[in-house]
Chains A and B, each alone.
Chain A
Amino acid sequence: MSQENVEMVRRGIASVDVFWAMLDEFVVWDLRGNPIGVDLDSVYVGRDAVIAASRHYWGTWENYSLEAEEIVDAGASVVIAVHERMRGKGSGVPLDRQSAQTWTFHRGRIIRWELFQERAEALEAAGLPE
Chain B
Amino acid sequence: MSQENLDALKRLYADWAVGNWSDTSVFDPHVVGVFPDPTPRAHYGLEALGEYMRRFLESWDDIRMEATSYREAGDSFVVWVRRTARGSGSGVQLEDGSIHVWTFRGRRAIRMELFDRETEALEAAGLSE
Contact = CB atoms under 8 A, between A and B. Distances in A.
Given A1-B126, A127-B106, A77 B75 contact: yes
Given A112-B105, A127-B1, A106 B32 contact: no
Contacts of B2: 75
Nearest to A103: B105
Contact of B103 (A2, A111, A124, A125): A111
A77 to B, nearest CB: 5
Contacts of B110: 28, 104, 111-112
B111 A106 contact: yes
Interface residues of A, number: 23
Chain A interface SS verdict (over half): strand
Contacts of A125: 105-106
A28 B1 CA distance: 22
A9 interface: no
A67 B106 CA distance: 25
> Could you say which interface size class chain B belongs to?
20 to 34
A2 to B, nearest CB: 7
Interface string B60-82: 00000000000000111000000
B74 A1 contact: yes
Interface in B81-129: 103-107, 110-111, 123-124, 126
B123 to A, nearest CB: 8
B44 A102 contact: no
Interface of B: 1-2, 30, 32, 34, 42, 44-45, 74-76, 103-107, 110-111, 123-124, 126
Given A26-B42, A76-B76, 13 more contacts: A1-B126, A25-B42, A28-B30, A28-B32, A30-B30, A46-B42, A76-B105, A77-B75, A77-B106, A104-B103, A104-B110, A126-B106, A127-B1
